[in-house]
Structure 1
């Protein structure tokens, strides 16, 4: 029996069934954009821990910062005895946050925590309760963020009833037959049928839907939402958990539109693989919560804060925002060439800003009919040839590419070659 098989048997006996594994391999070692499993097989990593590793596995600068912090202390709880790294990281994020005027930051541990606390802050700031989100959006697995997530399977089944005062409207995407105008008509109908604008605290959306299928929010949607929120004194919250820190070819995905939200939620690649999240926003909004109303025992871990400060240095020093655009262009060029072949799985909808690239596997060339079964086969074929991929989308037929932005040209080319071979298998 292989070591992977042995570990999988132990996992099935000891670990809850509700925690899924995309691939039946156990990782023993990782460097930058490569993984080695328990049997010693090497893989190119096009998943990046679900967009957590923009700076790669075990970046030397991040590891050095963590090692240095470990010589001082590992935990005090910022709410008991604070430490400088928390404040220093907040200062740096405030300086780059795409919000209007002075900004403030509060740290948590997971992306779902950040989104849930953004809603708490919005309710405190407005005195309202309603939240509007979009179909296809993903915001987390807590009860509140699960209600906000616009996808039933696998996130909501068996877990109801869900919290009230959460409303969904369609997200614009041509293959789904939904336009920006349709989205705004749905909001208008929502205001007439379900909740008046004066009871809505926040509108929350991703600038590029992650789990929903790597669908970028049109600029006119974000601009229209900003105007709508200003008209009705609603807070605009942009969920940058997956899109942040250079992935889209900007520090934050919303910057492609020029729109300034009231708050952004961040996590994933913020701390280079260490658990850390935050809400960054207009100071007057963030300060609406009273002392003691925000926080958590492990929120803003000193180890994670040290890692995050190093991550920001790496992004600047290695010009990873520019690198994202180079990587994205290489991926799209290769995918467009694959799409022209007649001996591969039919693919369509190559899309995404920067290195947040996705494409759909469809049943016939030139159609939009999803093929989730073939998508699963492609993921398996890629893994067997040494490439780790993830799927997503409302119909589970989108393949998303989330390679670390620190990947070398050679490893990137290797991964794309394996991807092409898997699509031809």
Structure 2
């Protein structure tokens, strides 16, 4: 059956207002995902004082949150295939916003733990859907850059949350709740509903070629009205409609190998990043810094996050993404280790800044790299499962961090984090597939008169 030729028709489009509005909406969702993901780590030092929460209890809440992320990722892959990418993006963002709002009414560590698990499920689900949505709507030549641009804007949610937390938490005994209220503002994504289009590639994968063509025509008309006549797309390729993707699909070699690789990437990224970001305020406070100073220092380090995403935008479509990920992961390991070896405030901020800069660049690169390893049929399932397993792995991460800290001290935590990043870099270097198409060389010009 002849397809609607969605991929080729989208790939030949110039970037226009349609693309910019779409990336703004995705950036908005990312902003509040990143704003909300560190809410518990920002408020944990205050809860230790108010409720007598222990380091082990912080570890358990954080661990269970990653269990929630795993289930959220798996559910996301199902609803993105069943309901569509756009509807799934809206539903998952509303989910995490509602439960972040519920967390403002927590009364003890158990209640806040339950709300954080449910919020985290939505956060992870939204991320999986957003990564797939951008991958399927943007031209192949620039999708990596725009995925990174979305993270540039979205990642600002992290320093925004930390700065807000540093300002509101000290006010009184209940003001920490405002941090969760802030994270709940992601529900405002509903205002973008009418501006977004469903993925034509999703319609096409279901055999609904008429609907795919209708959406493509709408997009093409908008772009042509702004940019002028469009070039002809490459000829369509005949493919059978994709059937429902069962979990056992990932056992096939073409899906199993990228799924295993990406699982290692997301496991090491998750443990490495959250081992750092989730624990830095608490560990600094435990090492003698005041709660206010520990939160403030971490807030300063997260200013590097948007710059890292912008750096990724500059390199992602110029160099092979695999090698960019290897380089970024190695730098994170080094800077994270140096962070743990100093107690000088200015060096804490400098090395923490560099960790955040390169980590968010790494994340932006990985968001672009992951879905490229799958075809349309396996993209949602493969991305969701590998990302979900990465998040599930950190159910053990906080417990390992707590055990290392209690048993071997502050610095051992950062040796562990650095080692985790290096494992990911080495595996990518050895087994990672290349995804950037080779450059097409221009024909050699003949000398005049030849």
Bigger radius of gyration: 2
TM-score by length of 2: 0.24
Higher share in strand: 1
TM-score by length of 1: 0.25
Higher relative contact order structure (alpha carbons within 8 Å, sequence separation ≥ 6)? 2
